[in-house]
Amino acid sequence: MGKSTTSVITPISEADLEFDNGSFDAAGFTRQAMTNWQTVAAVIDHTLLKPDATREQVEGACDEVVRYRFACAMVNPIWASTAVAMLSGTGIPVGVVIGFPLGASLVSTLRQEAAALARMGVRELDMVIPIGQLKSGNHHAVQHAVHAAATVAHHHGALLKVILETALLTVEEKLRGAELAIQGGADFLKTSTGFASGGATAPDVALLRGVAGGRCGVKASGGIRKLADVRAMLEAGANRIGASSSVAIVREMGAE
């Protein structure tokens, strides 16, 4: 079950933007994750978020998730019930995006999406941070949006991953957004939607891990297509990968 949250939102000050580097062993995690194709698969969210994805493609992706035992199947909300039905009894969770891909939804919409999906059986929610609010300096609105979604997710035993869309942010905004997300109750900081001008980079992953330390996970997503990309993100501090090229990646390590 996800961690609990409270109804109190504490403002973030400059003093709160501190690095916590001592609690996550990226090198050790990378060695473990890169042991074989099965351990690589176990840290990858197999992702199908194309707007034109068909039922047949979603069902095919779910079959691949079961075959290779990926960390989860990540789909759009409209396909949540399909994925939940297909993965029932497998022990593999379904992940669904909310407030995606613009981070411009009303907080009430985020709550409703999170609750509806969790009631369907979705166990991982990937939410886009209110990017425009962050860039406008409205930090309370950012933390409030994350907190609202986290409260619903955790009430239903689901995880919340918060997408910062790092390609659109300055270094200061990345630092600030990461801390706001953690204080709001994020279980993971995530780099990208894959729909913006850029995806995950090792420096951004390292920055997010520097803020997170051992307080939450870090998910690298966007443009990760090869095994070498996975290794680079893990070495930088990621402990979850989002990719649509998951099958090709594990086949590089010998999966059939």
Opening angle at CA 188, ends 97 and 218, nearest 5: 115
pLDDT at 22: 53
Tokens of 154: 């955790």
E strands, 39-157, where?
A: 44-48, 72-75, 94-98, 124-128
> In this structure, is residue 5 part of a structural domain?
no
What distances in angstroms separate CA 14 from CA 11, 191, 192, 203, one per listed residue? Answer: 10, 22, 25, 22
Cα separation, 49 vs 34, whole angstroms: 26
> In this structure, is residue 224 part of a structural domain?
yes
What distances in angstroms separate CA 39 from CA 63, 112, 126, 151, 218, one per listed residue? Answer: 18, 35, 22, 31, 17
Please name the residues in contact with 201: beta carbons below 8 A apart, sequence gap of 6 or more.
166, 191
> In this structure, is residue 15 part of a structural domain?
no
DSSP annotation of 74 reads: E
DSSP string spanning 178-235? HHHHHHHT-SEEE---SSSS----HHHHHHHHHHHTTSSEEEEESS--SHHHHHHHHH
Into how many domains does the chain fold?
1
Q: What is the pTM of this model?
A: 0.92
Which secondary structure element, helix H or strand E, spans residue 175, and what is its range? helix 171-184
Q: Show the domain range for 32.
A: 21-251
> In this structure, is residue 69 part of a structural domain?
yes
Strands 240-243 and 44-48: parallel
> In this structure, is residue 201 part of a structural domain?
yes
pLDDT at 1: 43
> In this structure, is residue 7 part of a structural domain?
no
Tokens of 247: 């099958």
Give the domain CATH number at 76.
3.20.20.70
Q: Tens-of-pLDDT digits for all 256 residues of the chain?
A: 444 444 445 444 433 444 444 589 999 999 999 999 999 999 999 999 999 999 999 999 999 999 999 999 999 999 999 999 999 999 999 999 999 999 999 999 999 999 999 999 999 999 999 999 999 999 999 999 999 999 999 999 999 999 999 999 999 999 999 999 999 999 999 999 999 999 999 999 999 999 999 999 999 999 999 999 999 999 999 999 999 999 999 999 999 9
Radius of gyration of the chain (CA): 17
pLDDT at 23: 82
Cα separation, 37 vs 26, whole angstroms: 18
> In this structure, is residue 11 part of a structural domain?
no
> In this structure, is residue 10 part of a structural domain?
no
- Which residue carries 């961690």 as its tokens? 3
Catalytic residues: 126, 190, 219
